[in-house]
Amino acid sequence: MGVIAGILIFLFFIWFGGGKTVKKIGEDLSETGKKMEVMEEKIKREKDEVWNGVKKKFFKEEKEIPKRRQ
């Protein structure tokens, strides 16, 4: 079964363009990788901006609370 599957995979590889197809797919993957890196950087920057906003709003420096006199 493994030999038959290997032969079929090889025939499909040649049928669909062989090395040219592999080269085209590789180029497309490289472009996609570059785009993803840019998106990751944008997401990291925006996450930091949002986190800083949350810190300012919810974690303000605690002011001294005057003690109650009884």
- Burial letters 13-34, b for 16+ CB under 10 A, else e: eeeeeeeeeeeeeeeeeeeeee
Span 54-69, pLDDT tens digits: 877 777 655 555 666 6
% of the chain with per-residue pLDDT over 70: 83
Span 12-68, pLDDT tens digits: 888 878 778 778 888 888 999 999 999 999 999 999 988 888 877 777 655 555 666
Find the helix or strand (DSSP H, E) in which 31 lies: helix 19-58
Instruction: Spell out the residues 6+ positions from residue 21 whose beta carbon is closer than 8 angstroms to its own.
Output: 13
pLDDT value of residue 69:
65
In the chain, where the domains are located: 2-47
